[in-house]
Structure 1
Amino acid sequence: MTTMDKPDLIVIGAGPAGLSAALEAARHGSSVLLLDEQPEPGGQVYRNVMKASAKQDEILGPDYKAGRLLVSSIENVEIDYRSGVTVWQVGADGSVAFSQNEEAYQVHGRHIILATGAMERPVPLPGWIVPGVMTAGAAQILMKSGGLVARDAILVGSGPLLYLLSSQMIAAGSPPKALVETQSFNNLCLAMTHIKGVVLGWRQLLKGLQLIRQIRKAGVPRYKAATEISVIGTDQAEAISFTTKGRKHKLDASTVLLHQGVVPNTQISRSLGLKHRWNENQRCFYPVTNDVGQSSIEKVSIAGDGAGISGAKAAEYTGRLAALNALHKLGLISEVARDQRAVPLLRARKKEIAIRPFLDQLYAPPAEILRPRGKTIVCRCEEVTADDISSYAALGCKGPNQTKAFGRSGMGPCQGRFCGATVTEILSKETGLHPEQVGSYRIRAPLKPVTLGELAALTDVPQKEIVS
């Protein structure tokens, strides 16, 4: 059995943060192993950008097309890049176990950078599990990967992605049937307390206003401050009902696209036992890091949205910062050199995220989404409802891990990836405890399903030449 020399750095995730980290480290002479689940680098934001047609470039917009430069850059440096990889175990000692082409491997790195990005927040409302309902991000994946555009779709929720996706659908000749938005005037009032960040991030605000202008020009109806939202249908979505301005509405819809922002993907950081905190504005847990991405474990750094939602451009800066920190930890650059090179990156990142507090308040998820009631399914894997979770709290359940014993929520193949945030919120409301006291699911390996055959054939990573 041939083995690979211990790489200096293992980067998990090839989105903006992971690519930037790998490139920065490789340019400083570090040996880098870059692992990614997707068939091509770029993450969600730059998915399939190297193979996108001219028509897709036109539809998806200049920000998407601009990612081609970053993605193509890995061809010019010595990086051991592996796609189609499922990472299912990460150790504090620098070990990473993963599967590729139905074979399992294990490798040890001197330092690990987690760049696993974000995932869409679950939107548990009545009927959200009916066929024909999916997330706005999933619809965008279809546009980027296969050039497929949803037709006669109604977009429901809040957040900049709804406007971006709407404008892309309009450009593709298939405008949304309507936008049903949950943000209210009260959200705007709270957001205006962060007006300073709007001034610093005026370019991002201008982009958003231009998207809204395109939506208005296309004549797409917009319903604001929507409440009591539900999808009607049993075997297929048929309509969506909601209330706004005291009036009940019902719109026919066979395709419903949901979105309530994104949250950090913390499955790996949770499995490592890293220190996490609750973000009150973004209503989610995030791993604690310093300014250069160092986590609470010496051999692990975190970059990008996996450390807190900040957007694609900021993710590039955090990727480079995490790489500089790793290079210092590995003894390849001094602390002084790290800090000097970090200064312009920290300054650029601060400017990029200045508008985030404003956006977090403006598009904050409503209580009925964060803490659903009744027979609304919360855990899709085990079909556990909101009422079920509330009843567990009444019986003395105070944390998500206890709910597994009460009713198997979080016991499915996703390990609570899609229900964890909702379970925490419901338990917090029912028990009166702060979400940080309630906590989150304890995540254990394997992080993703792996076959017994793969485990039986587990081997060290085969040799690939890496030029330092």
Structure 2
Amino acid sequence: MMQRPVQSTCDLLIIGAGPAGMSAAIASRRAGLDVIVADEGEAPGGQIYRNAAQSPLSDAHVLGDEYLGGRTLIAAFDASGAKHLARCVVWQIALENGRAVAMLTRRAQGAQGAQPGGTLDISARAVLVATGAQERPWPVRGWTLPGVMGIGAAQTLLKSSGLAPSQDAVLAGCGPLLWLFAWQLLNAGRRVRAIIDTTPRDAWRAALPHALPALAGADYLLKGLRMMRAVKRAGIPIYRGASAFSIEGEERAERVHFADEHGTRRSIDTSLVLLHQGVIPSTQLPRSLGCEHEWDASSACWRPRTDAHGRSTVEHVWIAGDGAGIGGAKAAAHAGTLAALDISRELGALDAASRDARGRRSRLAMKRHLAVRPLLDALYTPPAALRRPADDVIVCRCEEVTAGEIRAIAAIGCQGPNQMKAFSRCGMGPCQGRWCGATVGELIAQMQERAVGDVGYYRIRAPIKPVTVDEIADSIALGDDFTRGEFPS
């Protein structure tokens, strides 16, 4: 007979051990709460500080001072007394009787399962979702070919395994990470074939009104300029204002085609294409809990509705960090602190005056770190032409549904992504819409001349992440009087 999974209770369950999750754990432990932090990584840090405490690189300084600065936060988290559950996939959260009950699966470690896995059942008085961001999908011709991946994924390989891309790699897209990764590779003694920057030539016009307020975060601007200058000095070919980008190849990526800022068609042979069009909040988990979301036109993405403390529209649920809106690692850390203090007040560990006093420094710091965001959004949010692919381009990678199929179904009256799912299986694959949801909504809105916020998004159901039937079965509670019947029973 199957047994009920391992059970645990706590005051606060934090999902994600990035800057927001770690800072929240530190602040809530100081307030006296019993805290559990569940994260899919081997060690705390999230994507931005991945393996910062024990980097596989011989010299982690190549990744920059900000990356190494994460070691201080990781050390404080390790010393906080919060219980850290590594390699844990949270695949369901239910709100029952004033508590949140989460189902987690810990993946086994080692070839022979040296550290066995298992299913955990955690009951918490409050939940903080700190799952961070994901790369914005950029459907272009050839993006499903072997040899094509996101820059974020390539950076993960560098941080987690010390693996750098080949010298003929082409970096394409826009946004700060495009230049940061190129700069990190140069520091590591590696080069790339070319950088194809798709930032529109006139993007500065939309960004100009935000320039003066952005000076409050001048250190971010100076850092970006230094990275871009270093890449240019290295002699790497840079093509700005690129458009009509596509990838070609028979069995794998072989070359890229694009038009430069003067409209001249160009082609570059390459076996590795790294794409990036910025990052967007990861919303799957809060959506599964019923948290309300809104379309943010300034950054062309969905974000959960939260108050100044990260409180969502669902009782007992808070959201902090880039998962609540892109702000960067330092802003995420302060957002985690503010959310933890509000949770501590809600659970009776602090009064409102203590919450506000302890959070004053984080509120001021967060305002400064976010000052540059409107300028970056105006400069680097990809235009509609880059977010709405041509008809022959695959949008749903899992089910191989093209933009043309989605437009055709929208043209006959399909009202939203959920109906589109029924008509085409779009969004029904293992990624559960992570890589097609935003694009599907935009294509429907385009065809029906509606606002994307009105079109909506997929309804997300458990399991939030792919799990096996065996893992799901292990989570089912069976009483002592349970007897198996013949199939069907």
Q: Distance in 1 between matches of 2:277 and 2:49?
A: 21
Say if 2:113 is the partner of 1:109. Answer: no
Tell me the equivalent position of 1:92: 95
Shift of 1:172: 1.5
Is contact 1:106-1:459 (8 Å) kept? no
Question: 2:124 is aligned with what amino acid?
Answer: G
Tell me the equivalent position of 1:79: 82
RMSD: 1.4
Shift of 1:90: 1.3
Deviations 1:88-126 (A, max 9, x none): 001234111111134222111001000000000001000
One of 258, 265, 275 as aligned partner of 2:292: 275
Say if 2:387 is the partner of 1:342. Answer: no
One of 190, 194, 210 as aligned partner of 1:194: 210
Tell me the equivalent position of 1:389: 406
SS for the counterpart of 2:10 is: coil
Shift of 1:452: 2.1
SS for the counterpart of 2:431 is: coil
Deviations 1:292-324 (A, max 9, x none): 111111201111000000000000000000100
Say if 2:174 is the partner of 1:158. Answer: yes
One of 257, 261, 264 as aligned partner of 2:278: 261
Tell me the equivalent position of 1:24: 27
Q: How does 1:348-427 map to 2 (within 5 A)?
A: 348-427=365-444
Question: 2:253 is aligned with what amino acid?
Answer: A
Alpha carbons of structure 1 residues 459 and 29: separation in structure 2 relative to 1, 3 Å: farther
For normalisation by structure 2, the TM-score amounts to: 0.92
Deviations 1:163-196 (A, max 9, x none): 1000111112211211101112311111011012
Shift of 1:340: 2.1
Tell me the equivalent position of 1:42: 45
Shift of 1:346: 1.1
Shift of 1:55: 3.2
Say if 2:245 is the partner of 1:229. Answer: yes
Is contact 2:23-2:77 (8 Å) kept? no
Is contact 2:169-2:274 (8 Å) kept? yes
Q: How does 1:207-246 map to 2 (within 5 A)?
A: 207-244=223-260, 245-246=262-263
Is contact 1:240-1:252 (8 Å) kept? yes
Tell me the equivalent position of 1:70: 73
Q: Distance in 2 between matches of 1:229 and 1:162?
A: 16
Larger mean Cα displacement after TM superposition, 339-348 or 295-304: 339-348
Shift of 1:54: 6.2
Return the structure number with greater relative CO, CA threshold 8 A, min gap 6.
1
Q: Distance in 2 between matches of 1:73 and 1:228?
A: 47
SS for the counterpart of 1:185 is: coil
Is contact 2:5-2:474 (8 Å) kept? no
Is contact 1:105-1:459 (8 Å) kept? no
Is contact 2:304-2:312 (8 Å) kept? yes
Is contact 1:103-1:458 (8 Å) kept? no
Q: Distance in 2 between matches of 1:416 and 1:156?
A: 23
Q: Distance in 1 between matches of 2:413 and 2:440?
A: 15
One of 112, 122, 136 as aligned partner of 1:121: 136
Deviations 1:137-179 (A, max 9, x none): 0110111011111012110000000110001111122112111
Shift of 1:2: 9.4
One of 315, 324, 327 as aligned partner of 2:332: 315
Shift of 1:276: 0.8
Shift of 1:4: 5.2
Tell me the equivalent position of 2:111: none
One of 138, 145, 157 as aligned partner of 1:130: 145
Say if 2:93 is the partner of 1:52. Answer: no
SS for the counterpart of 1:110 is: strand
Question: 2:60 is aligned with what amino acid?
Answer: D
Q: Distance in 2 between matches of 1:185 and 1:50?
A: 40
Is contact 1:125-1:230 (8 Å) kept? yes
Structure 2 unaligned blocks of 5 or more: 108-116, 478-489
Tell me the equivalent position of 2:480: none
Tell me the equivalent position of 1:464: none
Q: Distance in 2 between matches of 1:436 and 1:2?
A: 40
Q: Distance in 2 between matches of 1:260 and 1:27?
A: 39
Tell me the equivalent position of 2:114: none
Larger mean Cα displacement after TM superposition, 336-345 or 307-316: 336-345
* Structure 1 ranges of 4+ moved more than 6 A: none
Deviations 1:2-36 (A, max 9, x none): 96563010000000000000111112211001000
Query: Between Structure 1 and Structure 2, how many residues are aligned?
Result: 460
Larger mean Cα displacement after TM superposition, 304-313 or 191-200: 191-200
Tell me the equivalent position of 2:160: 145
SS for the counterpart of 2:295 is: strand
One of 289, 297, 301 as aligned partner of 2:318: 301
Question: 1:86 is aligned with what amino acid?
Answer: V
Is contact 1:197-1:356 (8 Å) kept? no
Identity rate, percent: 44
Is contact 2:56-2:160 (8 Å) kept? no
Alpha carbons of structure 1 residues 88 and 3: separation in structure 2 relative to 1, 3 Å: closer
Is contact 1:187-1:364 (8 Å) kept? no
Question: 2:314 is aligned with what amino acid?
Answer: I
Question: 1:266 is aligned with what amino acid?
Answer: T
One of 440, 444, 455 as aligned partner of 1:438: 455
Is contact 2:8-2:120 (8 Å) kept? no
Q: Distance in 1 between matches of 2:91 and 2:362?
A: 32
